[in-house]
Amino acid sequence: MSAPTPSARHPAAVTFPWWRNHGFLLGLVGATILAFLFPGPGARGGALHPELVNNGGIALILFLQGLSLAVEKIKSGAGNWRLHGMIQGYTFVVFPLAGVALNALTAVCWPSQPEAIRQGFLYLCVLPSTISTSVVLTAVARGNTAGALFNAALSNIVGVIATPLLVQLLMNRTGQAGPIGPLLLKITLLTLVPFALGMVLRPRLAAWIDARRAWVARISNTVILFIVYSAFCDSVQDRVWATHGLTLTLQVLGVTLGLFGVMSALVFATCRLLQLGREDKIAAYFCAVKKTLAMGVPLAVLIFGERADLPLILLPIMFYHPVQLFLNGLLANRWAREKA
């Protein structure tokens, strides 16, 4: 999610202790462990009332994203259509096709794979890119930061509607989809409306909200951690993990690493084919290969509902998130040391 701001003299320098740079990842682990230890309060009908808190939290996250989106900075990166076409094409065309191919491959090679895991990988592949980390890593690596900001923001705006539509389309192919009309109405009310309200209010509150970006990130992260906690509480109560165990988790991690590696190689090959310059190549890679957990978790709750196997659906994106942060962080530091 949020990342430390690079220093002026040393773009790749780490300015905070390790635990502060990776606090959100530690929080994900902590929320998961807490759900296994104390599942009652966060489960359906529990004392924390997750069915109410989750919906309100989703609206709050999208409102804060709209309020924090610096449209005035996005405009400067709007003219590079070849870069935009590649990034958006990977986000909403190539990645979803890879998800379909992966679904077919695992059906043959891993026939015992739970349906929720297949749904999770399809869902991962139709998510938009991250905003903050895509832009920060592009800046660290001395890439086209304006282009990265434009594309990361655009994919998140488009993704609010494109992601559920793509889920519907791809899962129709496997007979897993439900009616789309009520879902789109609920998504519009809980995501697009607060997001648009935040954008409308930004001109008046820009200075105030920009001075408090760290707190905005903490609030959003806390809501996401609560959603993850409540989802895992339901799965523990319904004994989902007693059925599948540790082996499934390790298998999902292996497939996630393979997916990340294949998509990274494809993005690099496409950059060479299009003969992108160094700065555009860096922006294209960090935007095209990354997937957002910040929007992925709230949208999953809306799309898949209060299912006991929701954590299995979330498992691929929960693994993909730290994998992309760690490996892309190493790559950004390497590119930062290269001569332009």
Query: Tell me: the pLDDT tens digits for 71-98?
Result: 766 666 667 889 999 999 999 999 999 9
- Does residue 60 fall inside a structural domain? yes
Sorted by sequence, the CB contacts under 8 Å of residue 192 that are 6+ apart come out as: 62, 160, 161
**Residue 34: inside a domain, yes or no?**
no
Residue 56 pLDDT greater than 70, yes or no: yes
Using CA atoms of 102, 108, 109, 113 in order, give the dihedral in degrees to the nearest 10: 80
Question: Residue 209 pLDDT more than 80?
Answer: yes
Give the CATH number of the domain where residue 218 resides.
Answer: 1.20.1530.20
The confidence score (pLDDT) of residue 11 equals: 44
Least confident interval from 13-17, 172-176, 256-260, 263-267? 13-17
Neighbours of 174 (CB within 10 A): 15
The pLDDT, as a whole number, for residue 3 is 44
Q: Give residue 181's domain range.
A: 48-335
Tell me the pLDDT tens digit for each residue of 97-127: 999 999 999 888 888 888 899 999 999 999 9
pLDDT band of 8, cuts 50, 70, 90: very low
Specify the pLDDT at position 73.
Answer: 67
What's the structural domain count of the chain?
Answer: 1
Task: Name the pTM for this structure.
Answer: 0.79
**Structural domain includes residue 27:** no
Give the pLDDT confidence of 299-325 residue by residue, as tens digits: 888 888 767 788 899 999 989 988 998
- The pLDDT value recorded for residue 97 is 95
Radius of gyration of the CA atoms of the chain, in A: 19
Q: What is the pLDDT of residue 119?
A: 92
Q: What is the mean pLDDT of residues 30-55?
A: 83
Q: Is residue 306 part of a domain?
A: yes
Does residue 14 lie within any of the structural domains? no
Would you say residue 32 lies in a domain?
A: no
Assess contact for 45 and 235: CB atoms under 8 A: no
Task: Report percent pLDDT > 70 for the chain.
Answer: 86
Most confident segment among 260-274, 288-302, 324-338? 260-274
- Distances from the Cα of 51 to the Cαs of 145, 185, 191, 218, 318, in angstroms? 38, 18, 16, 21, 21
Is 23 inside a domain boundary? no
161 Cβ neighbours under 8 A, 6+ residues apart? 184, 187, 192
Would you state the structure tokens that stand for residue 93, as one six-digit string?
A: 């065309």
Q: Is 191 left (phi over 0), alpha (psi -120 to 50) or beta?
A: alpha
For the cut 70, the answer to whether the pLDDT of residue 217 exceeds it is yes
Rounded to an integer, the average pLDDT of 49-64 is 82
39 is a domain residue? no
Q: What is the pLDDT of residue 1?
A: 42
Q: What pLDDT shows up at residue 14?
A: 42
